[in-house]
Amino acid sequence: MINFWKHFILTLFLLLLINPVVLSGQSSREYYNRGLNFMAQQSYFEAIQNFDDAIDLTPDFYEAYFERGRSHLFISEFEKAKNDFSNTIKYNPDFADAYLFRAHSLSAIGEHQKAMEDYTHTIEIDPDNVQAYLKRSEIHIRNSNVKAALADLTQVIELGHINPNVYLNRGKLFEQKGNTESAMEDFCRALELDSLHTELRYERGFLLFSMKEYEQASDDLSLAIEFGIDSQHIYQLRADANFYAGKYDDAIDDYTILINRFMLRNEETQFKRALSYYYAEEFDAAIRDFTRVIGQNREHEIAYIYRADSYYRSGRNSLADVDFMKALEINNKNPLTYIKRGLMYFETESYAEAYDDLNLAVEIDPCANNLFLRAQILFAMGNKEEACNDLQKAAEMDHEKAMKELTIQQCH
């Protein structure tokens, strides 16, 4: 019996001498599996302790280094994570995910160039690694390398990764390059995937505004506001979109929010609300706002012009005359002053004064509309020949109303 134990101990010693990890490998694997279980429970400190034990027993256990690195990442220990992933690569240079996660660690500590190199290495080993392309595109965007970022996001889409955020980000890059058509296509694809995506509604609304599709822009911006964006900029954008779309009541509401809630009581915002009131034919409200604008800028000639016309529209002609004169004192070369005052004279049948003003407007700016307006006054004064001449000139400039009027007035 003594000889049996001597023989057993000698055999065990020889096994350990030949392969020291025969027994320790089993124990390290147990620690490793226990570590994975703790990770699944999000108990990362306990997981790390078990991976420590596994590595102590098997120093080249690259899977344990990898999982310990991931555990360090979860608790924001980025330097330790980077070191673990480096050890993983040391023992297994073809482990693509080790490069991927080391890149994540490097990005977290601001080493973006090294991170990009690791993402590139990941792609070289695993050309279908969507995460590597996505993360590398973020670094390209940070570096203002739009072309490279576009290529990475396009590759992600070609690999079949269907995600609205990918289309959103690629659309924004197309927009930066001035390719509005491709940007719009990507925003629309993204919204097909997620119609409630707040940022997408905002970005498409902004793009539609830049394309002068104001009513559609207003619709998208309204949804973005409904979904939670509550900023001065988005109300400003929607207010302008509503104004240019001719939705003056809605524009007034948005400018009022800007003035009252965001305290944006500057000259520009007051003036835009004043114009909205003017076009909505709320002339008393327009006068109040134009007066506020003039209070901030005594040389705002356009405010005087529109306040004058608002006074006229509300039956206060003498005040209108005063404002028109003030506008001319500021700038006697603005055709708008003569047009607005000329139309006031025309509508009150003061044809001679109306003609004088429109004549000056044409001298300053002989555009089709000014010629057309002067023709109306000439017809009212009974001067058909000169009126027809003005209509003819306006029609030659493709003024649609002038073309129709030529036939109606039987000008030859």
- Farthest-apart Cα atoms in the chain, separation: 140
Domain that holds residue 41: 16-126
pLDDT recorded at residue 5: 43
Which pLDDT belongs to residue 409? 87
Give the per-residue pLDDT at 174. 98
Residue-wise pLDDT tens digits, 317-326: 999 999 999 9
Q: What are the pLDDT digits (tens) for 174-203?
A: 999 999 999 999 999 999 999 999 999 999
Q: Which of 61, 93, 126 is the last residue of a domain?
A: 126
pLDDT of residue 196: 95
- Quote the tokens at residue 141: 């965007």
Is residue 182, in this structure, part of any structural domain at all? no
Model confidence at 26, pLDDT cuts 50, 70, 90, reads: low
Is the pLDDT confidence value at 4 over 60? no
Q: Among candidates 109, 113, 135, which has minimal Cα distance to 122?
A: 135
Alpha-carbon distance 234 to 225, whole Å?
8
Q: 78, 95, 126 — which closes off a domain?
A: 126
pLDDT at position 3 over 70:
no
- Residue 239 has a pLDDT of 98
pLDDT, one tens digit per residue, over 267-286 is 999 999 999 999 999 999 99
Q: Give the H/E segment covering residue 163.
A: none
The pLDDT-based confidence of 139 (bands split at 50, 70, 90) is very high
pLDDT at 40 > cutoff 90: yes
Question: Would you say residue 397 lies in a domain?
Answer: yes
CA distances for 349 relative to 305, 344, 371, 373, angstroms: 20, 9, 19, 14
Q: What percent of the chain shows pLDDT beyond 70? A: 93
Q: Give how many domains the chain has, as a whole number.
A: 2
Mean of the per-residue pLDDT values of the chain: 93
> pLDDT by residue (tens digit) across 72-92?
999 999 999 999 999 999 999
The CATH number covering residue 92 comes to 1.25.40.10
Tell me, yes or no, whether 59 lies in a domain: yes
Q: Is the pTM of this model over 0.75?
A: yes
Contact 341, 312 (CB under 8 A): no
Query: Which residue, 345, 305, 312, is CA-closest to 329?
Result: 305
Angle between helices 164-176 and 198-210 (to 10 degrees): 30
Q: Is residue 409 part of a domain?
A: yes
Question: Which pLDDT does position 410 carry in this prediction?
Answer: 86
Is pLDDT above 70 for 6?
Answer: no
| pLDDT surpasses 70 at 56 | yes
- On the question of pLDDT at 356 being above 70, the answer is yes
Q: What's the rounded mean pLDDT across residues 124-142? A: 97
**Among the listed ranges 11-15, 236-240, 303-307, 370-374, which one has the minimum average pLDDT value?**
11-15
Averaged pLDDT for residues 331-360: 97
Is position 181 within any domain?
A: no
| 28 close to 20: Cβ distance less than 8 angstroms | no
Q: Write the single-letter amino acid at 313.
A: R
- 166, 156 Cβ separation under 8 angstroms: yes
Owner of token pair 């306040």: 307
Let me know if residue 358 belongs to a domain.
Answer: yes
Q: Other C-beta atoms within 10 Å of 130: how many?
A: 16
Contact 73, 105 (CB under 8 A): yes
What are 204-233's pLDDT values in tens digits?
Answer: 999 999 999 999 999 999 999 999 999 999
Kindly tell me if the per-residue pLDDT of 14 is higher than 50: no
Q: Specify the 3-state DSSP secondary structure of 261.
A: coil
First-to-final CA distance of the chain? 136
The pLDDT value recorded for residue 13 is 43
Nearest CA to 155 out of 131, 178, 176, 175 is that of 131
- Element (H or E) spanning 142, and its range? helix 130-142
At 109 the three-state DSSP class reads coil
**Domain contains 285:** no
Residues 108-125, mean pLDDT to the nearest whole number: 97
Phi, psi angle pair for 350, to nearest 5°: -95, 75
pLDDT over threshold 50, residue 25: no
Q: Give the end of a domain, one of 126, 145, 160.
A: 126
Q: Which has the higher per-residue pLDDT, 3 or 128?
A: 128
Is 24 inside any structural domain? yes
Q: What is the pLDDT of residue 16?
A: 42
CA 309 to chain centre: 38
